[in-house]
Amino acid sequence: MAISTALWSFALVVGLLTLTPGLDTALILRTSALGRRRRAWGVVLGIQTGTLLWGAFTSLGVTALLTASHLAYTALRWIGAAYLVWMGARMLRDTFRALPAADTTDAVLNAGADSVTGGWRQGTLTNLLNPKMGAFYVAVLPQFIPTGTDHFTMGLLLTTVHVLIGLLWSAVLIGFARILHGWLRKPQARRLLDRITGTVIGIFGIRLALSN
C-alpha cells in the first residue's frame, strides 16, 4: 500500500468516525452553545491531544499491551466510566439547584471559567480515559501502515490526519452552536441543554462500564 493511498483510506475511516455523534460532539456543542468559546476550543484541543497520544502509544506498541492485559483494560475502563458518570451527574445536579439564573451556567462550567486550559484538561481526560479509543487504534492503525515504512513516523502521520479532520469538524460544531447562543440566554433553555448533555454523558459512562 502506497503512503498516499494509506493516508486517504485512513482519512475516510476516521472521517466517518468523527462525523458520528458521540461524547466529544456533546461536550463541544454544549460548551460552545453556552458562550464559552475559549473553553470550547480548549475542549477541542484536549480531545485532539488525547487522540495524538493514543496514536503515539499505538505506534510504540504501548496500547497493544493494554488490550492484551485484561486487568489493565478493565481498570482503565472503570476509571473512565466513573469519570463520565461523575461529570454527567454533576451537570444534572447543578440544574436542579435553586441558583440565580446568572449563576446557573457558571456553576456547571467550573465557576464560569472561560479558559482554554480548563477545557483542555476536560477534553484530554475524557479522551484518554476512554479505552475504546486505544482499542480502536490498535485494531485499525496498523492496517494502514505500509510495509517498509517506519511504524512510529507513519503512525504519527496517520494520527495527524485524524487530528486535522477532528479540528475541522469541531470548527463546524462551534460555528453551529453560536446559533443556539441567543436561545440559551434563557435559564430554562440552559437547564434543558445541561440535562440533555448530562444524561448523554452519564449514559456513555454506564455503557462503558457495562461493555466487554
- Pick the closest to residue 3 from 11, 19, 57, 15 (CA basis): 11
The tally of domains found in the chain comes to 1
Which 8-state DSSP code applies to residue 147? T
Give the residue-averaged pLDDT of 11-36: 85
Please measure the distance between the N-terminal and C-terminal CA atoms of the chain and give it in whole angstroms.
33
| pLDDT score at 90 | 83
Q: Where are the beta strands (DSSP E) in 68-184?
A: none
What's the angle, vertex CA 123, arms to CA 117 and CA 127, rounded to 5? 145
Q: Which domain holds residue 46?
A: 3-16+23-210
Place of cell 480548563: 118
Question: Within 10 Å of residue 161's Cβ, how many Cβ atoms?
Answer: 19
- Helix (H) and strand (E) counts for the chain? 10, 0
pLDDT in tens, 141-166: 888 888 888 889 999 999 999 999 99
What's the pTM?
0.75
